[in-house]
Structure 1
Amino acid sequence: MSPSTGTIITVAPTGAEHAKADVPNLPVTLEELVSTAQDCERVGAAMIHVHIRGAEAQPTLDLARLKDTVAALREQTNLIVQLSTGGAVTDPESDRLRVLDALPDSASCTMGTVNFGDDVFHNRWEFIVELHQRMRERGIVPEYEIFDLGQLASLHRLLDKHGLPAGGHVHVDLVMGVPGGMPGDTETLVAALRMIPPGATFSATGIGRTSLPVMLASLSAGGHLRVGMEDTITYARGERVRDNAQLVARAAGLAKISQRPPMPADVVREVLGVKGEKGLADVAV
């Protein structure tokens, strides 16, 4: 199965924005996260994009918790484990860089600063370069997160100046529909595809009500999908999401209808150049 005949489905189950008090079914403990991951794997997910929460269900980048999370997900699922280096918008750069010491299979690398609702998500050029280089040193495959079209120009600049990432393959996630970022519509996705580096694969994420339009647009353009309660807590108008597996199952169903069924994790590892657990463990930090 190749990227053109199958679909990579990533689940983003938690995020850093929703409060557990407001979204009681949000998975925030390690046990909840592992159970969610297993459910999502069963219905078609190959990769999990992880934010973790602390004892009071608040976002955290605590390294010990991150290491425990990576270990538990590897032990109890076959999913590719991708940690967020974005954290919450208030997290300092030093903490965000230290995420890589948990040695996940993959990690996000956001390609620029963006207005994020009422906040600002800061990503300085020097910080982006540092993330890119540290991931390559550790054998961690980056997923380049794109919140606006100009960030694709930054990605070209990064690759031209600093070379290919770990694994040798470029994979991009278009995060669409964030207030302050690019719109979640077909026209914008088409414009983005004109700027993606040659040979790269891409997934697309629609935030909130843009979730379904972006999903359909990405599938029609040969792209992959990221879904989950990080990105939307509404399944349909007036209907809250039951759990993350519900969103993954819908994505998997649409992928099958598009004749590009969900790709298993082992195939996705080959496509993205992800090393196995042993390969990461052998990399000196």
Structure 2
Amino acid sequence: MTTTTLITVAPTGAESVKSEVPALPVTLDELVRTATECAALGAAVIHVHVRDDDAEPTLDLGRLRATVEALRAGTGLIVELSTGGAVTDSETDRLAVLDAVPDMASCTMGTVNFGDDVFLNRWEFIVELHTRMQDRGVVAEYEIFDLGQLAALQRLLGRYGLPAGGHVHVDLVMGVPGGMPGTVDALVACRQALRDLPAGTTYSATGVGRTSVPVMLAALSGGGHLRVGMADTLSYAKGRPVESNMQLVARAVSLAQLAQRPPATAAQARELLGLAA
């Protein structure tokens, strides 16, 4: 059982609309301010999606590079870029995300129904993304939307080797309509499957929407880490909209402390994930 909790904040995502969610950070200034506030509370990693001048999701490389540079200059957070983007983004654009040279990047381990859409991740694309990250020294976080994707990860690592840094870390994304539910039983099933991965593999868990709190509690009790943020959750409680990402990070920190697993510092997080100091 790990003694600290790695807390990741995912502040924006690609699904919510700024006009409907005014608190959503979409400009670079808003994102850096959010990152600074969340780091002060105990977050160690920021999972980044960027928006354009119209607050629409974009994988524009110039914006990605500027975002990575600003977050590094203004915070001590580990900067993780999403290679998922929006469901409409091309594979070429998603691979080019790595050209922004983040500390980490996501690697989703399979295709999944995503609400009314399809989040497409072909095997050949996954392999290309994994090997490019190895070559460039970008640490991978393997996003798992369903149980079978852990078997796909075992296959990937067996054929193409460990990620950059040598440590395997997965994020269980739970509660997406079309993916696995955000339940204790689903998390336990994933923990069983994680035993087939290399020794020392760690996991974070993300509960989408109303599954956020049950997933956090289950993850903490099972030795897991946490991802929270407005990318995944817009309601703090029934009938109570989220006011800021700080609110969600503060709750995660409080639960981690209650579990006697306080938030990992940035240095502890880097050591855990196999990142250079």
Moved >3 Å (runs of 4+): none
1:281 aligned residue = none
- Residues 222-265 of structure 1 show CA distances to partners (whole Å, capped at 9, x for unaligned) of 10000000000100011010100110000000000000000011
- Give the alignment of 1:110-125 within 5 angstroms: 110-125=108-123
2:125 aligned residue = 127
Instruction: Tell me how far 1:54 sits from its aligned partner.
Output: 0.3
1:280 aligned residue = none
- Residues 99-131 of structure 1 show CA distances to partners (whole Å, capped at 9, x for unaligned) of 000000000000000000000000000000000
- Residues 117-163 of structure 1 show CA distances to partners (whole Å, capped at 9, x for unaligned) of 00000000000000000001110000000000000000000000000
Letter in 2 for 1:107: A
Instruction: Tell me how far 1:175 sits from its aligned partner.
Output: 0.1
Hey, what's the Cα distance between the residues in 2 that align with 1:275 and 1:37? 21
1:181 aligned residue = 179
Long gaps (5+) in structure 2: none
1:16 aligned residue = 14
- Give the alignment of 1:87-98 within 5 angstroms: 87-98=85-96
Letter in 1 for 2:105: A
Instruction: Tell me how far 1:275 sits from its aligned partner.
Output: 2.5
Hey, what's the Cα distance between the residues in 2 that align with 1:176 and 1:265? 25
1:279 aligned residue = none
Hey, what's the Cα distance between the residues in 1 that align with 2:85 and 2:174? 18
2:52 aligned residue = 54
- Give the alignment of 1:171-250 within 5 angstroms: 171-196=169-194, 197=197, 198-250=199-251
Instruction: Tell me how far 1:76 sits from its aligned partner.
Output: 0.3
Q: Per the alignment, in what secondary structure is the counterpart of residue 32 of structure 2? A: helix
1:6 to 1, 4, 7: 4
Instruction: Tell me how far 1:75 sits from its aligned partner.
Output: 0.2
1:145 to 143, 146, 151: 143
Letter in 2 for 1:136: Q
Q: Per the alignment, in what secondary structure is the counterpart of residue 118 of structure 2? A: strand
Hey, what's the Cα distance between the residues in 1 that align with 2:158 and 2:208? 30
Hey, what's the Cα distance between the residues in 1 that align with 2:118 and 2:276? 33
Hey, what's the Cα distance between the residues in 2 that align with 1:66 and 1:39? 21
Letter in 1 for 2:177: P
Hey, what's the Cα distance between the residues in 1 that align with 2:56 and 2:234? 18
Hey, what's the Cα distance between the residues in 2 that align with 1:206 and 1:9? 13
Instruction: Tell me how far 1:274 sits from its aligned partner.
Output: 1.2
The answer as to whether partners of 1:105 and 1:275 remain within 8 angstroms in 2 is: no
1:64 aligned residue = 62
Hey, what's the Cα distance between the residues in 2 that align with 1:275 and 1:110? 23
Hey, what's the Cα distance between the residues in 1 that align with 2:10 and 2:126? 22
1:25 aligned residue = 23
Letter in 2 for 1:146: I
- Residues 68-107 of structure 1 show CA distances to partners (whole Å, capped at 9, x for unaligned) of 0000000000000000000000000000000000000000
The answer as to whether partners of 1:139 and 1:275 remain within 8 angstroms in 2 is: no
State the identity as a percent: 69
TM-score scaled to structure 2, two decimals?
Answer: 0.98
Hey, what's the Cα distance between the residues in 1 that align with 2:56 and 2:72? 23
Instruction: Tell me how far 1:13 sits from its aligned partner.
Output: 0.1
Hey, what's the Cα distance between the residues in 2 that align with 1:12 and 1:119? 21
The answer as to whether partners of 1:103 and 1:140 remain within 8 angstroms in 2 is: yes
Hey, what's the Cα distance between the residues in 2 that align with 1:167 and 1:6? 20
Moved more, 40-49 or 267-276: 267-276
Instruction: Tell me how far 1:199 sits from its aligned partner.
Output: 1.8
Hey, what's the Cα distance between the residues in 2 that align with 1:7 and 1:274? 17
2:83 aligned residue = 85
1:44 aligned residue = 42
